[in-house]
């Protein structure tokens, strides 16, 4: 054991902790938003204040552990450990365990109203499906484990570079800052609302058969079964049963025609999904590249409900840093604004995600990114690079965050999720 003095009012101490206990400490400190050294300080202080040592902790396989404590605390701890005839390693383990016991795992925050996120853009090929899947996966990750997340200031650096320097904006990977954070642990339903079934296929699901039941049937008022019976779980090992998928069916190509005969057709998606909402914290809808009646129903589903805070539900617009995305964005926002006015409802924009970004493409990419940044409202809430891991995940039909959990795209998806939580 050594305790060389470091600059400031803390000193470095070196001891040992078993690997399992160190991991629990690391995760729990992150869950409570405190530094590990603060947790150890509080644990030692509480242990020293006890009348006697606590129950013995298994320290087999203990390995080197260092931290910084207030000057003098370690000497006090050494004296009390000697009085209690407890080794420093055992005393430290008991202190850490005491802190864990008095700081239990916090409950996962659940929204009062199920959040509804509509991932949309009239233009195809911008990556709406990839963003829908990645966002849902990030929201469903385990709250009891740490996952690499791009911190918000990293995104801010990229966007400020684009805003201030235009074509000289730095590539995302040059300003990437990452920290390990607990997953949100949300219960998530992904709704494949596109007749092309891309989301279903990408996640390894099977499109629903044309002669069976489907979301289309429920929206058209002709259900053949309980909609819950159509929902499938996605990669339980990675997401602990928290991530589910409502697969698409090719019959959605006929949805606009069928909706034309339905009363209050703008509420058709809401009526269909309402029975499922109590099972989930978030429902994310992967919309088709369309401006038809089905898109009206999707946008209406994402409206702000009574008692819901602004920005909880609404439209998340996926674009690319190129000119055709800007044209499609104008069409989409016009449709949303018209629906707002016609039905007198509040429909919030949750933000813009610039997807498949690569500054190496030069002036078109960087100047287009600057154009999205300049919009301000809605603001850019995500910047996802054009990297190979997403394409590979699609090829093997696995969720990106379980296929390549430490990839830059996965790190960016987690950052996007936290921008929207």
**Distance set, CA 313 to CA 115, 137, 301, 307 (Å):** 5, 18, 9, 12
The whole-number pLDDT of residue 6 equals 47
Average pLDDT over residues 375-387: 90
Query: pLDDT at position 157, please?
Result: 63
Contact (Cβ atoms closer than 8 angstroms) between residue 151 and residue 179: yes
Q: What mean pLDDT is reported for the chain?
A: 90
Q: What is the pLDDT of residue 252?
A: 87
Q: C-alpha angle 320/321/327, rounded to 5°? A: 70
The pLDDT assigned to 152 comes to 64
Structure tokens belonging to residue 347: 């429909």
Helices 323-343 & 293-301, crossing angle to 10 degrees? Answer: 70
pTM as predicted: 0.88
Residues 200, 24: Cα–Cα separation, whole Å:
36
pLDDT of residue 3: 46
For residues 138 and 184, the answer to whether their CB atoms sit within 8 Å is: yes
Task: Give the containing element (helix H, strand E) for 73.
Answer: helix 73-83
Mean pLDDT of 375-386: 91
Q: Are 95 and 55 in contact (CB under 8 A)?
A: no
Segment 334-348 shows an average pLDDT of: 93
Predicted local distance difference test score (pLDDT) of residue 2: 44
Separation between Cα atoms, residue 129 and residue 217, nearest integer Å: 22
Using DSSP, state whether 104 is helix, strand or coil: coil
Phi, psi of 27 (to 5 degrees): -70, -45
Strands 232-233 and 10-17: unpaired
- 146-189 confidence digits (pLDDT tens): 999 987 665 666 666 655 554 444 444 444 688 899 999 999 99
- 190-245 pLDDT, tens digit each: 999 999 999 999 999 999 999 999 999 999 999 999 999 999 999 999 999 999 99
pLDDT at 159: 64
pLDDT score recorded for residue 216? 95
pLDDT for 7 beyond 60: no
The pair of structure tokens assigned to 176 is 């990437």
Q: Are 301 and 273 in contact (CB under 8 A)?
A: yes
Q: Using the predicted structure, report yes or no on whether residue 62 has a pLDDT greater than 60.
A: yes
Residues above pLDDT 70, as percent of the chain: 92
Higher confidence at residue 174 or residue 318?
318
Higher-confidence residue of 52 and 9: namely 52
Percent of the chain with pLDDT strictly greater than 90: 75
Distance of CA 146 to the CA centre of its chain: 13
The pLDDT assigned to 55 comes to: 93
Residue 326's pLDDT band (cuts 50, 70, 90)? confident
Measured in Å, how far apart are the chain's first and last C-alpha atoms? 43
Q: What is the pLDDT of residues 246-288, one digit of tens each?
A: 999 998 888 989 999 899 999 999 999 999 999 999 999 999 8
Tokens coding 100: 């864990």
Q: What is the pLDDT of residues 104-118, one digit of tens each?
A: 999 988 888 999 999
pLDDT of residue 290: 83
């Amino acid at each position: 054991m050594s305790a060389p003095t470091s600059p400031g009012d803390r000193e470095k101490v070196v001891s040992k902790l078993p690997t399992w206990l160190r991991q629990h400490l690391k995760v729990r400190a992150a869950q409570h938003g405190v530094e590990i050294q603060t947790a150890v300080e509080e644990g030692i202080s509480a242990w020293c204040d006890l009348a006697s040592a606590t129950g013995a902790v298994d320290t087999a396989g203990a390995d080197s552990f260092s931290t910084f404590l207030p000057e003098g605390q370690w000497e006090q701890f050494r004296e009390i450990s000697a009085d209690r005839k407890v080794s420093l390693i055992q005393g430290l383990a008991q202190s850490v365990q005491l802190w864990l016991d008095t700081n239990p795992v916090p409950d996962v925050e659940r929204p009062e109203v199920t959040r509804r996120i509509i991932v949309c853009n009239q233009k195809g090929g911008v990556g709406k499906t990839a963003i829908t899947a990645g966002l849902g996966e990030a929201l469903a990750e385990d709250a009891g484990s740490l996952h690499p997340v791009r911190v918000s200031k990293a995104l801010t650096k990229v966007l400020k570079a684009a805003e201030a320097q235009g074509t000289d904006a730095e590539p995302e990977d040059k300003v990437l800052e990452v920290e390990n954070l607990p997953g949100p642990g949300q219960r998530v339903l992904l709704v494949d609302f596109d007749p092309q079934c891309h989301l279903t296929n990408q996640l390894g699901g099977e499109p629903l058969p044309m002669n069976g039941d489907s979301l289309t049937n429920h929206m058209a008022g002709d259900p053949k079964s309980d909609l819950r019976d159509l929902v499938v779980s996605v990669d339980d090992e990675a997401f602990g049963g928290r991530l589910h998928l409502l697969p698409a069916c090719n019959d959605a190509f006929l949805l606009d025609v069928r909706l034309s005969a339905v009363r209050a057709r703008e509420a058709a998606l809401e009526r269909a999904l309402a029975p499922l909402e109590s099972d989930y914290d978030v429902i994310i809808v992967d919309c088709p590249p369309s401006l038809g009646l089905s898109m009206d129903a999707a946008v209406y589903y994402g409206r702000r409900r009574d008692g819901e805070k602004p920005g909880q539900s609404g439209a998340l617009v996926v674009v690319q840093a190129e000119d055709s995305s800007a044209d499609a964005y104008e069409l989409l926002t016009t449709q949303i604004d018209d629906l707002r006015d016609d039905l007198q409802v509040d429909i919030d924009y949750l933000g813009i995600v610039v997807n498949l970004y690569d500054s190496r493409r030069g002036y078109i990419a960087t100047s287009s990114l600057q154009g999205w940044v300049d919009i301000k409202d809605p603001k850019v809430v995500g910047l996802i690079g054009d990297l190979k891991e997403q394409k590979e995940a699609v090829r093997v039909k696995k969720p990106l965050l379980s296929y390549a959990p430490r990839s830059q795209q996965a790190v960016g998806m987690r950052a996007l999720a936290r921008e929207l939580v």
